[in-house]
Structure 1
Amino acid sequence: MSDDLAARLREQGLRLTPQRELILRAVEDLGHATPDEVLAQVRSQVSSVNASTVYRTLEVLEELGLVRHTHLSDRAPTYHSNREHEHVHAVCRRCRAVTSYEPEVVAPVVERLAADGFAVDVGHLAIFGVCGDCAAKDVGSAT
């Protein structure tokens, strides 16, 4: 990925720094991660990286199309690599587990909105509810 990262940065007149490379690698390794989680991952390797560097770099990486974000909670955005296929996020309100689903799961909704001229950013879509494990615990505790 560093070759792709370096090429995209050069196109924008930017250079590949060790911090940018570490931050992108952290996002890829963590899967879905908030800036604070990325910072913790990066600091486990290089303690001198600060939060503002992580936030700025995540913005640059998103502008370059290498990462994207979605809101999986009411807190900070969650970032993931664009190397992953586009997916919809299902977030459990109880245990906070995030499950990825193929875009086809929401195809009827996307098609309906498209008929009205609205283009859905499926990769930014998060659906909140209760996962099967948490629902099963509720049933088990009610008996």
Structure 2
Amino acid sequence: MDTSLKSTLHRRGLRMTPQRQLVLDAVRELGHATPEQICTRVQSAAPAVNITTVYRTLDLLEELRLVRHTHLGHGAPTYSEREHEHLHLVCHECGAVGEAPTELMEEFAARLREGQGFAVDVTHVALSGRCADCVRADEAQLEEAQ
């Protein structure tokens, strides 16, 4: 059992439940996962847990700053542990999700802060484009056509 989760909940007058622990465990195990994927994982251990419980628990865990969500495009957000900080690279061709260090955005974030007064959360950023595999496949296809 996660004692930090239990003590955080207790300080807020909430109790630790098996469902809360299962949802947090699923987020940790899956890395990046939608609420539906998390629900499927939780239901493998506790079939009676429904998607509404998972959404409510994710909201609570995010409020407690134990998980974070990111929008990787259209559709449901994905959840990961709070400490799991990086940029998300989403291939709009094959759907692959890659990672890049947040330091790559430091100059951009500083320019936004100076010029616009806007402080960007770079850990919440998803960049859309084409992954290396899709770029290579297109280049190979072009070479064959020539």
Coarse TM-score class (shorter-chain normalised): over 0.9
Q: Could you tell me the TM-score, scaled by structure 2's length?
A: 0.93
- Is 1:121 aligned with 2:108? no
Per-residue deviation, residues 30-57 of structure 1 (Å, max 9, x unmatched): 0000000000111111111100000000
Q: Could you tell me the TM-score, scaled by structure 1's length?
A: 0.95
| Corresponding position of 1:68 | 68
- Is 1:37 aligned with 2:37? yes
In structure 2, give the amino acid aligned to 1:41. R
The CA RMSD measured in Å over matched residues stands at 1.1
- Is 1:97 aligned with 2:99? no
In structure 2, give the amino acid aligned to 1:97. A
| Corresponding position of 1:108 | 107
Structure 2 unmatched runs, 5+: none
In structure 1, give the amino acid aligned to 2:97. V
Counterpart of 1:44 in 2: which secondary structure? helix
In structure 2, give the amino acid aligned to 1:68. R
The alpha carbon displacement at 1:83 in A equals 3.3
**Which stretches of structure 1, 4 residues or more, deviate above 2 A after TM superposition?**
none
- Is 1:20 aligned with 2:20? yes
| Corresponding position of 1:140 | 140
| Corresponding position of 1:83 | 83
In 2, the alpha carbon distance for the partners of 1:128 and 1:113 equals 20
The alpha carbon displacement at 1:94 in A equals 1.4
| Corresponding position of 1:2 | 2
In structure 1, give the amino acid aligned to 2:40. A
Aligned residues: 142
Once structures 1 and 2 are overlaid, which stretch shifts more, 60-69 or 131-140? 131-140
Identity %: 49
In 1, the alpha carbon distance for the partners of 2:95 and 2:123 equals 18
The alpha carbon displacement at 1:28 in A equals 0.6
Which of the pair has more CA radius of gyration? Answer: 2
Counterpart of 1:59 in 2: which secondary structure? helix
